[in-house]
Amino acid sequence: MSVSTAKQELGLRIAQARLAKSVGGAELGALIGGDKTTISKIESGTRSVDGVELALIAQRLDVGVRELLGMPPRQKVLAVASRLRERGDGAAPALRRARQILEFDALLDELEEPVDRVTAKATPQYDLGEDAETGAHVARQLRASLGLGVDGVQNLEQFAESQLGLDVAVEPLGSSASGVVVQAEGGTLVMVNSDEVHARQRFTLAHEIGHFLLDDVDLIVEDDDDRPELEERADAFAAEFLMPEEGLRRIGGGFDAPQVFVRTMLMFGVSRRALARRLEQLGLIDSPTRQSYEDADIGLMFRQAGQSDAFTEFESRVGRRRLPARIEARGMAAYQRARIGIGPLAALMARDALELEAELDEAGLTPRAFDAIPLPADAL
């Protein structure tokens, strides 16, 4: 294929995608520092497109760079994206955001931005029964295999990424979903709801890790009312992983005292509901005590335990977003290498582009001189 023919076909695909999204030529031209005439020339094949421009165009038109280049799709990413587009139920916000993060990562693949993916450390092979005890057994095995002992795991997001090779995002998902696991080409993304308190986020993340380790992941895994045994198994994994029985028993009792109960919450980073039900399950408190903790004023409990400052931190984590560390670092590197503009980076971070650009400029994180982006030879 000649260069001129490749440019014409690229221009045609851009035109088709632009019209499908009802985006004006003037708007798209302004996005890449031009005007309506710039886009007209691109679409007619008389003007080349550099890699940064192509990335911006693809982002605005909600398509992949590979699609605009006419390259074969990455089948698994495409399958996930397709599933996410089709969903119209209550989980749609979580899945739309998952799709945005996955496609940003795929965009960086197309721009040949270096990948620094963590290789998961070896974990045991599990005999995967579907009962709750299997979930607890797998949690004990995982703790043993990674030398975690019986103490609380303090930074669960970092643990999931550095030890298990997962990508973890904490995003506002509303009341419809606490978490979701999405399998994509080369990795697994776990989404957790930032609208919930941090302790609840931790239990959700541990629950989703359970789904991941217990091979419940197809392409997309959510809470499944049709398979309650799998949800109970993932809950059992989360309870044992976050609040190991041996660790709780080592405290030596006294859990009917609010001071001990609150300290234990903080020690293991769990909610009062999760801890109360776990203690009752293990026979360490009775049912009335469990119910009294679930019904109590949580702020008052913390004050009575002399933990007012801890309660402030406990509540302040609500709404705090978090991108997967690997993808955020990769995006920042691509921006500094001038491989993407501020638009795609701001969209990834859910930030205003001008505010983010000013903040990065002040921090000295500005794009270097333009690095030519290696695209297919016949695509420009």
AA letter at 242: L
Instruction: Determine the pLDDT at residue 174.
Output: 77
Q: For residue 371, is pLDDT > 60?
A: no
Provide the mean pLDDT of the chain: 81
Q: For residue 15, is pLDDT > 90?
A: yes
**CA distances from residue 132 to 104, 128, 221, 360 in whole angstroms, order as listed:** 37, 11, 18, 48
DSSP result, 296-360: S-HHHHHHHTT-HHHHHHHHHTTT--B--HHHHHHHHHHHHTTSS-HHHHHHHHT--HHHHHHHH
Q: How many CB atoms lie within 10 A of CB 218?
A: 9
Helix axes 51-61, 92-110, angle to 10 degrees: 160
AA letter at 185: E
User: Is residue 262 within 8 Å of 307, Cβ to Cβ?
Assistant: yes
User: pLDDT confidence of 212, banded at 50, 70, 90?
Assistant: confident
Instruction: Determine the pLDDT at residue 58.
Output: 81
Instruction: Determine the pLDDT at residue 86.
Output: 47
Instruction: Determine the pLDDT at residue 88.
Output: 47
Mean pLDDT of 242-266: 93
At 212, is the secondary structure helix, strand, or coil? helix
Q: How many Å apart are CA 229 and CA 130, to the nearest integer?
A: 6
Out of 91-105, 262-276, 297-311, 330-344, give the one with best mean pLDDT.
262-276
Rg of the Cα atoms in the chain: 24
Q: For residue 178, is pLDDT > 50?
A: yes
| Dihedral Cα 180, 166, 196, 290, nearest 10 deg | 90
| Dihedral Cα 206, 207, 213, 217, nearest 10 deg | -130
Q: How many CB atoms lie within 10 A of CB 330?
A: 21
Q: Which of 74-88, 227-241, 312-326, 354-368 has the lowest mean pLDDT?
A: 74-88
Mean pLDDT of 210-218: 76
Q: Which of 125-134, 156-165, 277-286 has the lowest mean pLDDT?
A: 125-134
Instruction: Determine the pLDDT at residue 175.
Output: 74
The pairing of beta strand 187-193 with beta strand 179-184: antiparallel
Q: How many CB atoms lie within 10 A of CB 127?
A: 9
Instruction: Determine the pLDDT at residue 159.
Output: 93
Mean pLDDT of 119-133: 60
Instruction: Determine the pLDDT at residue 270.
Output: 94
Structural tokens at position 214: 């217990």
Which one, of 280, 279, 283, 284, lies nearest residue 265 by Cα? 279
Q: Which of 46-55, 70-79, 108-117, 286-295 has the lowest mean pLDDT?
A: 70-79
Instruction: Determine the pLDDT at residue 104.
Output: 85
Mean pLDDT of 214-224: 59
Quick: pLDDT tens for 72-101. 554 444 444 444 444 445 556 677 788 788
Instruction: Determine the pLDDT at residue 52.
Output: 66
Instruction: Determine the pLDDT at residue 343.
Output: 84
More confidently predicted of 115 and 63? 63
Q: How many Å apart are CA 343 and CA 303, to the nearest integer?
A: 45
**CA distances from residue 7 to 42, 49, 174, 198 in whole angstroms, order as listed:** 8, 8, 43, 50
More confidently predicted of 102 and 362? 362
At 192, is the secondary structure helix, strand, or coil? strand
Q: How many CB atoms lie within 10 A of CB 173?
A: 25
User: pLDDT confidence of 269, banded at 50, 70, 90?
Assistant: very high
Percentage of the chain exceeding pLDDT 90: 39
More confidently predicted of 367 and 120? 367
Q: Which of 172-176, 217-221, 244-248, 374-378 has the lowest mean pLDDT?
A: 374-378
Mean pLDDT of 159-185: 84
- Going by C-beta distance under 8 Å and a sequence separation of 6 or more, which residues neighbour residue 96? 84
DSSP result, 244-275: -HHHHHHH-S-TTSHHHHHHHHHHHT--HHHH
Q: What is the pTM of this model?
A: 0.73
User: pLDDT confidence of 213, banded at 50, 70, 90?
Assistant: confident
DSSP structural state of residue 197: -
Instruction: Determine the pLDDT at residue 84.
Output: 44
More confidently predicted of 326 and 73? 326
Instruction: Determine the pLDDT at residue 320.
Output: 86
Which one, of 315, 317, 299, lies nearest residue 307 by Cα? 299
Q: How deeply is 136 buried, as exposed, middle or buried, from its count of CB atoms within 10 A (0-12, 13-18, 19+)?
A: buried
Q: For residue 260, is pLDDT > 70?
A: yes
Instruction: Determine the pLDDT at residue 288.
Output: 96
More confidently predicted of 91 and 374? 91
Mean pLDDT of 181-209: 87
Q: DSSP E strands: which ranges in the chain?
A: 167-171, 179-184, 187-193, 220-221
Which one, of 229, 227, 172, 179, lies nearest residue 204 by Cα? 179
Which one, of 62, 63, 24, 71, lies nearest residue 43 by Cα? 24
